[in-house]
Structures are given as structure tokens and as C-alpha cells.
Amino acid sequence: MKYRFILLVFVLLGPLAARAQNSHEAQRIIEFPDVPGYVTLKCDLHIHTVFSDGSVWPNIRVQEALRDGIDAISLTEHLEYQPHKDDISHPDRNRSHDIAVQSAGESGLIIVRGSEITRDMPPGHANAIFIEDANRLLMDDPVAVFEEADRQGAFTFWNHPNWISQQKNGIATLDDLHIRLIREGLLDGIEVVNDVTYSDEALQIALDYNLTIMGTSDIHGLIDWQYKVPEGGHRPITLVFATERSAAGIKEGLEERRTAVWFNNTLIGREEFVVPLVHASLTVTKTAYIGDSSVLSVSIENTSDVEYILYNKSGFTFHASSDVLTLEPHHTTRIDVKTIERVSSLSLTFEVLNVVTAPNTHPEITLEISVD
């Protein structure tokens, strides 16, 4: 019934939809602050539709992204693995991308042309994004395809190196072929997070070989179901710290390794990028000594989606908590610091336990506080 009617309804429902934004819908928007010098862009660069082995038309991927407040997606269909090929037989392998672009219309969603390169291990699966033409990547040779992607100016990354279907112990392990691709500049990034999985070993490889740290949903079904969005869950994404909100900005950020991954309640990234993000998330909004005491009440506003888990590394003890405390997302938390004597400024240092900069490594942040 609806086919001529969809846009019309959208227009008419606008004001009501905007109201709904205040309740349930608004809660799913993924929110992170910008960091000094860069805008923080929320990207999901590994996604499937019915054009490979996914279960939805590209327009649903666009709508999911808009509902999640995502800045950029890439529909990275398998070129070789086409289980729906009896039904979907369009000869152009760019088709999925083109439909998504049309669906996105003037919404502002950035859609990056990409493709999955599907191989047995090694090298396993990889994505080439920011390509010119997916059709030209349809070739057998496992190295030649990366060379072709490179000719097209692609950014490439290794998908789910921990995938137990290709790596039975789940331990991401570099093969000579991977090292060759990296050395030749044909492999730029690696998924540390894919769907519901995380890999410490992939993170170590990223650090050892200077690869871009990536996290993607690799969604095949529905985002809402896979990540229990109505219950407060979210898809994994790559945060790209970009000089501008554009496809070019994202590409440059990825190439320069300026990323972090947002996965469940964990942030993963190089210290130089995640620490500024934590700092940008937190603002000391108020300080006040309580009564005539030397206990200082410090109010910290957290404008990010992260519930930060902090481990006190200062000499101070707290009047209302032990040395482990949490800062709820989008909430102001008050920390009462026993400063022994009244001071005009102080530093609070915390290890941030749910931020990961290397396996078993969590960064410290220091809040420099001037007493009001």
C-alpha cells in the first residue's frame, strides 16, 4: 500500500517524530564529544545487505545509521560470497552502495564505497573502502586484489582476524602474507572489534605494525536485535578523529591512525587519541568545600556515552566512595575529596579501567582542578 506514500508520510510526521526524539529514539543516538583539533566521527565501515549475505535492503542500513546518529557507513558486500545470487543478479557490484546513496538523500549520512575481499586464511577477509569500482576487485589472486584496491586509492583493513571459523583458537596471528601486505602498504588497518568479539592480540598487532585500530558491526541481520538497542545496547563503531566531517576527512583520519573503537562499555585506542577523548568527555562543572570542612565537593559532568570506571591514583581518599568509582554517561557525578587542608587547586589522577590502550593497559588521566 505504501509505495507512493512514504516520503509524504515522512514530511507530515516530522513534528511528531521530532517529539518522539525526546523519548525512546533519542536514547539510541551515539554521542561523543569532539576533541581538540578534530571532529569525532562515528563510523561503521563493515556492513552487509541482501546484495551479499545480509538480510535487508540498503535503505534499512541507512535508516539504522540515521537512528544511531552514525556519521558514515560502508556497505562492504562480499564479492565472491553471494548466497542470494539465484535471486539477486545485478551485474554491477557497486549496486548496493548506489542504492544506499539514493536512500540517504539529503540526510547528511556519508556513505563510503567499499567491498569485502573474501579469502581463506591467509589472508582471510579484508575490506577495501574508499574504492572507485567494486567490479574491478573481482579477481582470484589474493595479492593482486589488494594492488587493485591500492590503485583505486583504497583504505584496506583485515577483518575479524580472531574469527574462529578461520582461526580455531581465536588468537589473531600474522602470516607472512599479512606482513608482506603491510610492508607493501596494501593493508592499513585491522579489526580489533568485529560484531560481538574483541581481540587483545589484534590490538597488539595494530600497535606493533602501526595499523589503524578498527571496530565494526559486520551486521548481517538487524542492528536493533543484534545489539539489543531497545535495552540500551549499541553497535560497535570506529570513532575517527577527522579534520572535517567528510568522506575525505574520514579517509585521512583512518590513514593517520586517528581512531578509537567503541564496543559495549569499552573504548579502545592509542593513548594519544583516547586520552583526549576522555578529557573532552569530562568537565569539572563546580567545586565547593562542604561547610567549614576541608572536604571538597567536585562535580564532574560526563557528556559521552561511556560509563567511565575510574581507579583512584591520587594520594587523596574520598568521602563518599572507595578508590573505584564510576561516572555515569550524560550525568554529573559529585566526588567529595578529603584534601586534609583547604587548597586552592589540586590534581586528581585516575586509571580509566574501561579504556584500553594496549592489552592489559589502561591510561591514566589527570584532572587539574581549581577550587572555585
Nearer to a second copy, 10 or 141 (CB): 10
Contact 259, 238 (CB under 8 A): yes
Q: Give min distance, CB of 259 to a second copy, in A.
A: 16
Torsion of CA 261, 266, 271, 276, to 10 degrees: 90
Nearer to a second copy, 212 or 216 (CB): 216
Supply the minimum distance, in Å, between the C-beta of residue 246 and a second copy: 28
CA distances from 72 to 64, 65, 239, 247 (A): 11, 8, 10, 8
The residue (of 55 and 107) whose beta carbon lies closer to a second copy is: 55
Q: Which is nearer to a second copy, 4 or 345 (CB)?
A: 4
153 vs 221, which CB is nearer to a second copy? 221
CA angle centred on 220, ends 101 and 230, rounded to 5°: 90
Least CB distance from residue 99 to a second copy, whole Å? Answer: 8
For residue 135, the SS3 value is helix
Nearer to a second copy, 95 or 258 (CB): 95
Maximum C-alpha span of the chain: 78
Nearest distance in Å: CB 293, a second copy: 4
Q: Could you tell me the three cell numbers for 253?
A: 583520519
Instruction: Provide the minimum distance between the beta carbon of 252 and a second copy in the complex, in angstroms, as a whole number.
Output: 27
In the complex, the smallest distance separating the C-beta of residue 130 from a second copy, rounded to whole angstroms, is: 21
Complete DSSP assignment for 202-221: HHHHHHHTTPEEEEE--BSS
Q: How many residues does the chain have?
A: 372
| Amino acid letter, residue 330 | H
